[in-house]
Amino acid sequence: MGWSGRALPWVAAAAGLSLCSGLIWGYFFTPDDIRQGSTVKIIYLHVPAALMAINGYLLMFVGALVWLIRRQHVSVLAAKAAAPVGMVMTLIALATGAIWGQPMWGTYWVWDPRLTSFLILFLFYLGYIALWAAIENEDTAADLTSVLALVGAVFAMLSRYAVLFWNQGLHQGTTVTMADGAQQDNISNVFFQPLLLSMAGFGLLFLTLLLIGTRTEVRSRRLKVLQARERME
């Protein structure tokens, strides 16, 4: 609790700074794409949000695992706090995707594998959050949601491949790969640098919201302890 409180303003400031500069750079100081025109600029929202949507679930998975193995309360509370943030990121990715899809594909929604996967991911987030909300006892809820997060992760992966099998899709391939440090030729530096900045911004934003959420959860648990103690006295 101590360090996170001190780190929070710095992380928040870094998030705001990189997000603003990344988005402003991306929106106003990059040229239009030859084929896609200025609509391409939505990638500065779309791609980072999609990235954090997936990372959010990954984080929940790790948090759940640590809780089940080491019984660290903070890790499961972090997983709990990550869920709504990840869900909103998924929603942003879906919404910006739909807005981008309209001029590009002529329709807001196609049952393309990526879009479908994200919709399914959204449902997984909903289920996790709903299970937390439904169980009164906190430790039981923590245990059961963690089991769900682990099993859900396996099935989310499976769904991803199943959806690919089901429909090969319209969505353009991944244009940003950072596998070996040097980015591929399919996205030029002009677009890539501000994108990288806004991805960092989204990452830091996620971290900020996660810290706030986790701190709130920890505080609400402490409050419950204090209230219970007061009732007894």
Binding residues vs another protein (CB under 8 A): 1, 5, 73-74, 120, 123-124, 126-127, 130-131, 134-135, 137, 139-140, 143-144, 147-148, 150-152, 154-156, 158-159, 161-163, 165-166, 218-219, 221-226, 228-229, 232
Least distance to another protein, CB of residue 50, Å: 18
Question: Quick one: DSSP state of residue 36?
Answer: T
Write out the two tokens for 20: 């603003």
Least distance to another protein, CB of residue 76, Å: 11
Q: How far is CA 144 from the centre of its chain?
A: 22
Check if the beta carbon of residue 56 is closer than 8 Å to that of residue 63: no
Cβ proximity to another protein: between 33 and 138 the closer is 138
Least distance to another protein, CB of residue 2, Å: 8
Cβ proximity to another protein: between 88 and 200 the closer is 88
Q: Of 194, 184, 38, 24, which is closest to residue 104 (Cα–Cα)?
A: 38
Cβ proximity to another protein: between 125 and 202 the closer is 125
Alpha helices in the chain (DSSP H): 2-28, 43-70, 73-105, 113-134, 138-166, 189-232
Question: Quick one: DSSP state of residue 40?
Answer: G
Least distance to another protein, CB of residue 137, Å: 8
Cβ proximity to another protein: between 14 and 218 the closer is 218
Sign, CA dihedral 176-180-181-183, equals negative
